Amino acid sequence: MFAHGNARPANVPSILGGLTATPSSFAISEFHYRRGTEIYGEKEPAEYVYQIVSGAVRSYKLLSDGRRQIGAFHLVGDIFGLENAETHRFTAEAIVDTTVRLTKRMSLERVAHADSALAHNLLVMTTSNLQHAEDHMLLLGRKTALERVAAFLLEMDRRLTGVGVVALPMCRRDIADYLGLTLETVSRALSKLHAYGALNFLGSNQREIMLVDRDQLAALDT
Amino acid sequence: MFAHGNARPANVPSILGGLTATPSSFAISEFHYRRGTEIYGEKEPAEYVYQIVSGAVRSYKLLSDGRRQIGAFHLVGDIFGLENAETHRFTAEAIVDTTVRLTKRMSLERVAHADSALAHNLLVMTTSNLQHAEDHMLLLGRKTALERVAAFLLEMDRRLTGVGVVALPMCRRDIADYLGLTLETVSRALSKLHAYGALNFLGSNQREIMLVDRDQLAALDT
DNA sequence: CGACGGGTTGATTGTCCTCAAAGCCTGTGG
DNA sequence: CCACAGGCTTTGAGGACAATCAACCCGTCG
């Protein structure tokens, strides 16, 4: 079908369960999205919380003329769509065929009052998202193309937990829109890193990347 | 002394009080920082939470070679330094002479368990920071210089609540490091907006800006 | 097979950065 | 009181990095 390496057998932590009301009152169900399909849109009411069982998702904002900024990629095990406002602030789309577990979102107020441990979890996750966004602002505002791509590879390496090989689920355009670049610039940066001996391409479609010299990448990440 | 227009009489909401332990156990004190002085550094342990009584503060990250990304400006009434990790993720500096109220931070765990309304407040503030960062990622990743400056002026207009005049407390370099530009580019963009008739300069130091045509600015903000 | 999506690479353009100079204001010290 | 230094801003000239436009290759799928 489609070579996206993160069909990791679902030893997915069951964090999501903690975000529902008592397990008896709301069921957790699985849902499947085909690649390219929208899961929810920006400004739509936030009704569910999602956790990825397999696949990958992109969250993005659009400008009126179509320019796109991807704020985050969600990979296996990640929770997304967790707003505490009434509406989503991003559009979420399946990058590849994706299975999610979803559960009806409780209103923030009820969550916070119902269970303090749960409220704590909510805060930890929000803070984690905030931290990622803060780091990404530095990348988008001040790093060069090569530095951005190196940082991206290291992030994916860390999060995909591959055995030395990063199997990217997303295309060059997605990477570009995540890094504030164009797809050509991303491609050129990858070629340059290949020429430097920092990485090797494995798959036929250039999405499987072996990080040969992590130190060199880390040095570029500054 | 120094013309920074936000010496707004402190009808500062007392949100900060809610973040302390019981009012009896921890005192809230005021503190003064001279312009340019550091309030706390990145990676330092987070011991206090701050609220601005008068003045303004910049929060930034640095790359090893000195490139700087300002993540946020904090204005009168704003709370900052509120980490729930053990350490600060930004360096905070007074932009102008600044008075803050500060209070000893409670550990996140204790806050969350002690008072659910308080935990809720904490989450709301963190989410508000997250939302700002998300919007700023779009700006940094995908907007042109002119669009960034227009967006910046509208943000400051909204937050400084001036009577038609935005009295910026920060210099061009700070604006540039907030918008991912150079100070020259910021200056040129402002000159262009002036030529377009979107704004007028008032003060001798070019920091007081009257927004003449907000619609034009909003159109640029896309 | 041929169309299509995805990726790479080349040539050229353009936006923004860099380097530089000048003006203005403020504050300081003779 | 005035001269001068330093910080901040603007503006210009030139250059660089990334964007744009375009061609081509490859693998997949109808």
The last residue of a domain, from among B136, B163, B198: B136
Interfacial residues of A (vs B; Cβ cutoff 8 Å) = 61, 63-65, 67-69, 71, 84-85, 89-90, 108-109, 112-113, 116-117, 119-120, 122-124, 126-127, 129-131, 133-138, 140-143, 177, 179-180, 222
The last residue of a domain, from among A90, A105, A136: A136
CB within 8 Å: A123 and B85? no
pLDDT for residue B22: 40
CB within 8 Å: A116 and B113? yes
A64 and A153 housed in the same domain: no
B46 and B121 housed in the same domain: yes
User: Which of A64, A123, A179 lies nearest to residue B123, judging by beta carbons?
Assistant: A123
Q: Which residues of A67-78 are buried (b: 16+ CB within 10 A; e: fewer)?
A: bbbbbbbbbbbb
Output A203-210 pairs: Cβ under 8 A, ≥24 positions apart: A203/A3, A203/A167, A205/A3, A207/A3, A207/A4, A207/A5, A207/A167, A207/A168, A207/A169, A207/A171, A208/A3, A208/A5, A208/A165, A208/A166, A208/A167, A208/A168, A209/A153, A209/A165, A209/A166, A209/A168, A210/A164, A210/A165, A210/A166
A72 and A116 housed in the same domain: yes
B131 and B147 housed in the same domain: no
pLDDT for residue A109: 67
Scanning residues 176 through 195 of protein chain B, those with a beta carbon under 7 Å from any atom of strand D turn out to be: 183-184, 186-188, 190-191
Tell whether the torsion through CA atoms of A102, A91, A156 and B139 is positive or negative.
negative
Residue B2 has pLDDT above 50, yes or no: no
Partners of B88 on chain A (C-beta within 8 Å) are none
Question: Cβ neighbours of residue B59 under 8 Å, at least 6 residues apart?
Answer: B70, B71, B72, B73, B74, B80, B90, B91, B92
Asked if residue B69 belongs to a domain, the reply is yes
Partners of A108 on chain B (C-beta within 8 Å) are 120, 123
Q: CATH no. for residue B189?
A: 1.10.10.10
Residue B10 has pLDDT above 80, yes or no: no
pLDDT for residue A26: 53
B158 and B71 housed in the same domain: no
Q: CATH no. for residue A127?
A: 2.60.120.10
A158 and A69 housed in the same domain: no
Structure tokens at B197: 């008739």
**Distance between the alpha carbon (CA) of B139 and the C1' atom of D6, Å:** 34
Asked if residue A43 belongs to a domain, the reply is yes
Question: Cβ neighbours of residue B14 under 8 Å, at least 6 residues apart?
Answer: none
What nucleotide is nearest B184 when CA is compared to C1'?
A: D10
Number of structural domains found in chain B: 2
Asked if residue A92 belongs to a domain, the reply is yes
Asked if residue B12 belongs to a domain, the reply is no
C-alpha angle A62-A190-A75 in degrees, rounded to nearest 5: 55
B175 and B126 housed in the same domain: no
B57 and B118 housed in the same domain: yes
Q: Which residue's alpha carbon is at the shortest distance from the C1' of C27?
A: B1
Q: In which domain, by residue range, is A187 found?
A: 143-221
CB within 8 Å: A142 and B65? no
A209: β partners: A166, A201
A97 and A186 housed in the same domain: no
Distance CA A154, CA A222 (A): 12
From residue B188, how far is each of A54, A164, B135, B142, B176 by CA, in Å? 48, 47, 24, 19, 11
B157: exposed, middle or buried (Cβ count in 10 Å: 0-12, 13-18, 19+): middle
Phi, psi of B140 (to 5 degrees): -70, -35
A96 and A194 housed in the same domain: no
Asked if residue A196 belongs to a domain, the reply is yes
- pLDDT band with cut points at 50, 70 and 90 for residue B29: very high
Asked if residue A2 belongs to a domain, the reply is no
| Per-residue pLDDT tens listing for chain A (222 residues) | 333 434 333 334 444 555 544 343 456 899 999 999 999 999 999 999 999 999 999 999 999 999 999 999 999 999 999 988 889 999 999 999 999 999 998 776 677 677 888 888 889 999 999 999 999 999 999 999 999 999 999 999 999 977 789 999 999 999 999 999 999 999 999 999 999 999 999 988 899 999 999 999 999 998
CB within 8 Å: A120 and B113? yes
Residue B73 has pLDDT above 90, yes or no: yes
C-alpha angle A106-A112-A116 in degrees, rounded to nearest 5: 125
Which residue reads 């001798």 in tokens?
B204
The last residue of a domain, from among A89, A117, A136: A136
Distance CA B196, CA B188 (A): 12
pLDDT (tens digit, 9 = 90+) per residue, B136-177?
Answer: 999 999 999 999 999 999 999 999 977 789 999 999 999 999
Distance CA B52, CA B62 (A): 23
The model scores a pTM over 0.75: yes
A35 and A94 housed in the same domain: yes
- 3-state secondary structure string across B11-46: CCCCHHHHHCCCCCCCCCEEEEECCCCEEECCCCEC
Question: Cβ neighbours of residue A51 under 8 Å, at least 6 residues apart?
Answer: A12, A15, A16, A77, A78, A79, A80, A100, A101, A102
pLDDT for residue B109: 67
**Distance between the alpha carbon (CA) of A217 and the C1' atom of C10, Å:** 26
B84 and B162 housed in the same domain: no
Question: Cβ neighbours of residue B101 under 8 Å, at least 6 residues apart?
Answer: B12, B16, B28, B29, B30, B31, B50, B51, B53
